Amino acid sequence: MGDALPEDADIRKEMEKLVQNIDIESITTKQFIKMLSKAMGVDLKQKKKYIKGALTEVLDAMENDSDEEEAETKPKKRGGGGLTAVKEISPEMAEFLGMGDKMARTEVVKALWAYIKKNDLQNPNDKREILLDAKMKELFHADKITMFTMNKYVSAHVHPFKAVNLNEPSENSKRKKEQNARKRKAAKDAKNEKAKKRKPSNQPPWRLSQDLIAVVQKEILSRPQVTKALWVYIKENDLQNPEDKREILCDEMLKKVMGDNDRVTMFSMNKHITQHLVEKVVKIEVEPEKKERDQSEGEEQEEDEDGTESEGSDEESD
C-alpha cells in the first residue's frame, strides 16, 4: 500500500460507497478501516479518529435518506437540504441540547457525540457501545446504545419522528440483504446454465482386471464409473473407518485391488485403480455388447408377456 494519505473528502467519498456493499452492523471499526484501506490502496490507521467520526455521519445520512422517503413530499425551498436541512426536533431533544427546537440532523448528531465524549460515555472495551448516563437514559429510554443504533434513536427526535424499532433492519442492512439475494440468484442461474451446456464425459471405457471385476461386478467401465462403483462397494460393506471416514479398511476382495494394503485413503485409492485398467475399449466394440444385451432383455420381456397371456387363457378355459 502507498504511503501518501488521501484527503478527508476522498476518504469520506470512498466510505459512502463502501457502506453500501457491507453489513456495517456485523463488523468492527477496525475491520471497516482495514476494508477501507484495501479499497483505497493505503493504510488508513492514522486516520482512525476521522473515520470513526465520519462513519457516524455517513450512517446517519443513510437513515436520513430513508426518513425523507417516508415523509410527505413538500415543495423544495431554496437553501440547505439533505443532511443540512433544518428540521423540527422533539421538546425532549431541544431541552437536552439547549440549542433551540429546530436543527439540522447532522448538528444533532454532532452535539450528541460532543456530549458523549465530554462525559466519557463510550465503553472502554468496545468503543462502538455508548453507556448512557441518567440524562441520556431519560432521553432515549434505554441503558445503552451503539454508534449504529444511535441513528434510530435520533430519528425518534427529528421530524418526522420515526418510532424506534431495533428489530427492523437498517436501510443499509436491507440493501445489503437484497444485493446478496440477487448475487446468489445470479450465481445459481449461471451455475444452472453452465450445467445445461456441460458436455457429457468423454472418458473412454476400459476392460477391467479380474480382481476389479470381482468387486464392481462389471467387465467394462470408464474410470469415473470404476470410482463410483468402488464407493458403492465400500459403503455397502461398511469399509470406512468410523473414526476417520477418509480411511478405507480393505476386505479380502478389495485388498487385491488396492495392492494388498490393509488400509488406503480416499486420496491414495485412485492410484491403485490404474493397474487394473487393462485395456482401452473402442466404443464400437462396446455398442454390439450393449445392443445384444438390450435385445436379450427385450426377448425375456416378450417371453414374460407370452407367459402371462397363456396363464390367463388357461384360467379362462378352467
Query: The CATH number of the domain where 30 resides is what?
Result: 1.10.245.10
pLDDT of 315: 40
Looking at the predicted structure, is the pLDDT value of residue 57 above 80? no
Which domain, by its residues, includes 255?
A: 205-284
55 exposure class (CB count in 10 Å sphere: 0-12, 13-18, 19+) = buried
User: Within a domain: residue 256?
Assistant: yes
Alpha carbons 30 and 15: distance in angstroms, whole number = 14
Same domain, residue pair 116 and 237:
no
Surface-to-core class of residue 170, CB atoms within 10 Å of its CB (0-12 exposed, 13-18 middle, 19+ buried): buried
- Cα 225 from chain centroid (whole Å): 33
Average pLDDT over all residues of the chain = 77
| Higher-confidence position of 96 and 266 | 96
| Residue 134 shares a structural domain with residue 52 | yes
139 within domain boundaries: yes
Residue 87's nearest CA partner among 55, 64, 111, 110 is: 64
Q: Give the pLDDT mean for 256-280.
A: 88
Please tell me the distance from the alpha carbon of residue 224 to that of residue 142, in angstroms, as a whole number. 63
Q: Residue 294 pLDDT more than 80?
A: no
Are both 160 and 215 inside the same structural domain?
no
Asked if the structure places residue 253 within a domain, the reply is yes
Instruction: Label residue 295 by pLDDT band (50, 70, 90).
Output: low
Q: Are residues 135 and 209 in the same domain?
A: no
Confidence band of 306 (pLDDT split at 50, 70, 90): very low
Q: Are residues 152 and 214 in the same domain?
A: no
Is residue 216 situated within a structural domain?
Answer: yes
* Mean pLDDT of the region 154-181: 71
Kindly state whether residues 109 and 236 are assigned to the same domain. no
Quickly state the pLDDT bin for 3 (edges 50, 70, 90).
Answer: low
Percent of the chain with pLDDT over 90: 17
Query: Average pLDDT of 273-279?
Result: 90
Shared-domain flag, residues 155 and 246: no
Count Cβ atoms within 10 A of the Cβ of residue 250 and give its class: 0-12 exposed, 13-18 middle, 19 or more buried.
buried
The stretch 159-175 carries a mean pLDDT of 65
**In this structure, is residue 301 part of a structural domain?**
no
- For 229, the grid coordinates are 462403483
Q: Between 162 and 302, whose confidence is greater?
A: 162
- Which residue in 212, 207, 225 sits closest to 254, CA to CA? 212
As a whole number of angstroms, the distance between CA 267 and CA 247 comes to 9
Domain termination residue (choose one: 125, 158, 174): 174
Residue 43 lies in a domain: yes
pLDDT in tens, 113-124: 889 888 988 888
Residues 34 and 164 in one domain: yes
Could you tell me if 21 and 127 lie in one domain? Answer: yes
Tell me, yes or no, whether 299 lies in a domain: no
In a domain, 27, yes or no: yes
Same domain, 90 and 236: no
Domain count, the chain: 2
Q: pLDDT digits over 106-160, tens only? A: 888 888 888 988 898 888 888 788 888 898 888 888 888 887 777 788 888 888 8
- Which residues, at least 6 apart from 162, have a Cβ–Cβ distance to it below 8 Å? 67, 70, 152, 155, 156
Residues forming a β-bridge with 129: 146
Length of the chain equals: 318
Residues 212 and 168 in one domain: no
Based on the fold, state whether residues 156 and 54 are members of the same structural domain.
yes
